Structure 1
Amino acid sequence: MDMKKRIHLELRNRTPSDVKELVLDNCRSNEGKIEGLTDDFEELEFLSTINVGLTSVANLPKLNKLKKLELSDNRISGGLEVLSEKCPTLTHLNLSGNKVKDLSTIGPLKKLESLKSLDLFNCEVTNLNDYRENVFKLLPQLTFLDGYDKEDKEAPDSDAEAYVGLDDDEDDDEDEGTEEDYDEDAAPGEEDDDDEEVEEEEDDKESGEEEDDDLSGEEEEEELKEGEEGFDERGEKRKRAPADEGEDDDDDDSDDDED
């Protein structure tokens, strides 16, 4: 997709004057120039044209409110003097991955009085002796070069800090909610009472099981006794006759035989 069509899509039925941020990364620029971008984008503060095949920024329109310009991974080797005229309030400029070979190429950036951050990663100029020291001398208005200041302290990422702050707040809210739930559900000492009740229930169950075992043993003994007594033909229990009674019956029978 070429740059003009991409800009049309990014507008999303808005007028150019309503746009503050415009991302055109990875689209195609004809003849290595910016196309479709006009002075009507008067409120534009952030423009990103990463990897679009630019060789020049000569066609950049007048963008008086532009603060951040992303030009990384293109083929720009010079012509940066137009930036001070077209983007006088620029504070951040990323030229990493371009064909910047010497300090004279970035010399015109001295006129960008508001420029605080400059990135030249993967440019040949970074291989020069005393590169960082010389760039800070050439551009005294700079605070950060390639993400670090003169004392090699890393530049803070304001966007990242904002997101981290939000995450911390959310975590705090979750922790507070957890503590509140804990306080409401179980006051100090209640958990111990609950544990004691559970232990008592378990003891009751165990004692109940032991009683059941004892009862089952007694029932077995009764069944054994009943088995010894026996049953008659009608299913009724048959009691054993005392031994003496049986002997008397035998005597009576003998007497009858004698008669």
Structure 2
Amino acid sequence: MININLLSVSNLPKLSKLRKLELSDNRISGGLEVLAERTPNLTHLNLSGNKIKDINTLEPLKKLPNLHSLDLFNCEVTMLINYRESVFTLLPQLTYLDGFDADDQEAPDSDPEADGDGLEDEYENGEEGEEEDDDEEEDDLDEEVIDDEEDEDDDLEGEEEEDGVDDEEEDEEEDGEDDEEDEADDDLPRGEKRKRNIEDEGEEDPEDEEDDEDD
């Protein structure tokens, strides 16, 4: 809830699992006891840029045993003499104040656990695993389609070969019938064979022509 002109946290709902709360750049000047009641597991609290002027205003934060990081940057309280020593004395559970510990060692850039980065990583890993499974399923489907197409091609080639064999058998049968007819013609007497040839060619027998002339 950053920079929303918030005057108080009195209407904050009970959030027992909340660990990091951002309240910077508002107009909060007190009433921090609500945080201890409604967000008891806070580890990080950012109150920078608010209207906090007195060290005693921070006293309710003693009831947040897990509070490790507190940010009061740009609050008037930071202008007090011995400000840092006073806050670390008041809140002994603190590790970092305004980004530095009691020995002026800078805090890490972020706390993955408090920021929820661990959960995001798990979620992303879960999505990646699902995508890999989807890719594997798609590859399996592609392989099945290719196998089906190859089987269809083999069937078509087999049918074409069978058709070719059938055509060859039909041609051989027709050739055999023609040969049989030719052989039958060879077995006929010479006169009958000649007569059949004349009939096939549509010509008249010369002997018939002589009979016609005698008539």
Q: Does 1:71 align with 2:23?
A: yes
- Following superposition of structure 1 onto structure 2, how do residues 145-224 of structure 1 map, counting pairs within 5 Å? 145-158=97-110
Q: Per the alignment, do residues 100 and 157 of structure 1 end up closer, same or farther by CA in structure 2, a change over 3 Å counting?
A: same
Answering whether residue 51 of structure 2 is matched by residue 99 of structure 1, we say: yes
| Cα pair distance change 1:159/1:104, threshold 3 Å | closer
Correspondence for 1:119 among 54, 71, 76: 71
Q: Deviations over 1:110-163 (max 9, x none)?
A: 000000000000000000000000000000000000000000000012369x9x
Unpaired runs of at least 5, structure 2:
118-215
Q: Distance in 2 between matches of 1:153 and 1:75?
A: 29
Tell me the amino acid that sits aligned with residue 144 of structure 1.
Answer: Y
Structure showing greater Rg: 2
Q: Which runs of 5+ in 1 are unaligned?
A: 1-48, 163-259
| SS of alignment partner, residue 158 of structure 1 | coil
Alignment-derived partner of residue 57 in structure 1:
9
The residue correspondences of 1:235-250 to structure 2 (distance < 5 A) are none
Which structure is richer in relative contact order (CA contacts within 8 A, separation 6 or more)? Answer: 2
Given residue 150 of structure 1, which amino acid in structure 2 is its aligned partner? A
Partner of 2:34: 82
Letter in 1 for 2:54: D
Identity of aligned residues (%): 73
Residue 130 of structure 2 aligns with which residue? none
Looking at secondary structure, tell me which structure has more helix per residue.
Answer: 2
Look up the match of 2:141. Answer: none
TM-superposition CA deviations, 1:154-194 (whole Å, max 9, x none): 0012369x9xxxxxxxxxxxxxxxxxxxxxxxxxxxxxxxx
Aligned to 1:138: 90
User: For residues 8-38 of structure 1, what are the alpha-carbon distances to aligned partners after superposition, in whole Å with 9 as ceiling and x for unaligned?
Assistant: xxxxxxxxxxxxxxxxxxxxxxxxxxxxxxx
Q: How many residues align?
A: 114
Query: Matched residues in 1 for 2:80 and 2:93: separation?
Result: 21
Q: Offset at 1:92?
A: 0.2
Q: Which consecutive segments of 4 or more residues in structure 1 shift more than 6 A?
A: none
AA of the residue aligned to 2:80: L
